[in-house]
Amino acid sequence: MLRGLAVMGMILANASAAMSYDNKAQVYATLSHEHWNGLHLADTVFPAFLMMMGVAIPTSLDRDKRGVGPGAVGLRITRRCVRLFVIGFLLSNLHWLAHMATADWRFWGVLQRIGIVYGICALIFLKSGIRAWVATATVLLVAYWPLILLPQPDGQSTDLRVRGLNLAGWADRATLGAGNHIYVAGPQGYDPEGLLGTLPAIAQGVTDAMPSVGSSDKSFILNGERIEARDGICRSSDGTLAGCDLDMTTALRNIVGMTGIDIADASHMASGAPARFLGFDDVTGSVVVGRFADLAWLGREGVPKGVWRHGRRVGSD
């Protein structure tokens, strides 16, 4: 289902971009990518594909490992990675292939990044355990933050409010910018699927939600290891942190209790704000006449007491 929704989102985003740039037509803002420092619905399509790829890796590798050694599985991973990259390169450069004399080719692309992220995440999953996954995601995300703020070697000032004026943009220009082989050429050129930008994508590929969330069964198997969820924390048998067991109502109680924010504001952050971001705030996300009666009744301590979907009660304590 999520894959189908992601494909629908991709079609809508691509069609909206074509209408906006080629035909100068007005399109819904949320169906277009944010200019740089924001987030629209279209910006969630690619992360959705990465998440599905990461979730599929354990099942895929369990099937591949049947009757073969890790070397053979590693070879299969490499082949898939290369195939994805090559197919992505060809799709990204159809215009160049048809008009080589007048067009420039582009090295990076969406499918190329998916191929790279898949290869690295699959090898990490194959060769290591939960501790390595958590360490990899943590190091990549924590390191990317100061990395992107470092001064650019070409002397331009770093400004995250301007596309291309950061170390990731400089890396794209330094490696492939001279031949205009990146998405946006020029002195402030960059590639949205460039080299350094792939690092947080890898972190996303090795993290996902835990099966224990919302379930009474707080014990499950992950990559051959038994994971126990207790007090909101998922740990392996040797105590290694494996993730969190956090649902929305618990998150709501946490932010109210830890920050002192008003419960009404916190409720809006968990309902109205996501609905507005997704473009559904005209039909849901708040208690207003004419909108869907999608309600959650929480007790004094924030414990769920009942749930209504389109005005019909579907759950209770």
Q: Which of 21-30, 152-161, 186-195, 220-229 has the lowest mean pLDDT?
A: 220-229
pLDDT at 86 over 90: yes
How far are the Cα atoms of 142, 144, 198, 233 from residue 136, in angstroms, in the given order? 10, 12, 13, 19
**C-alpha–C-alpha distance, residues 1 and 178, integer Å:** 42
38 against 163, higher pLDDT = 163
- pLDDT class for 44, splitting at 50, 70, 90? confident
Q: Which residues contact 49 (CB under 8 A, 6 or more apart)?
A: 6, 114
**C-alpha–C-alpha distance, residues 249 and 270, integer Å:** 9
pLDDT of 115: 92
pLDDT of 278: 67
- pLDDT class for 209, splitting at 50, 70, 90? very low
Tokens 């649902």 locate to 247
- pLDDT class for 218, splitting at 50, 70, 90? confident
**C-alpha–C-alpha distance, residues 241 and 245, integer Å:** 11
Best CA proximity match to 118, nearest among 77, 58, 66, 65: 77
Q: Which of 28-42, 63-77, 156-170, 203-217 has the lowest mean pLDDT?
A: 203-217
For residue 216, give both structure tokens. Answer: 């009474």
- What is the average pLDDT score of the chain? 81
Around Cβ 182, how many Cβ atoms within 10 Å? 25
20 against 241, higher pLDDT = 20
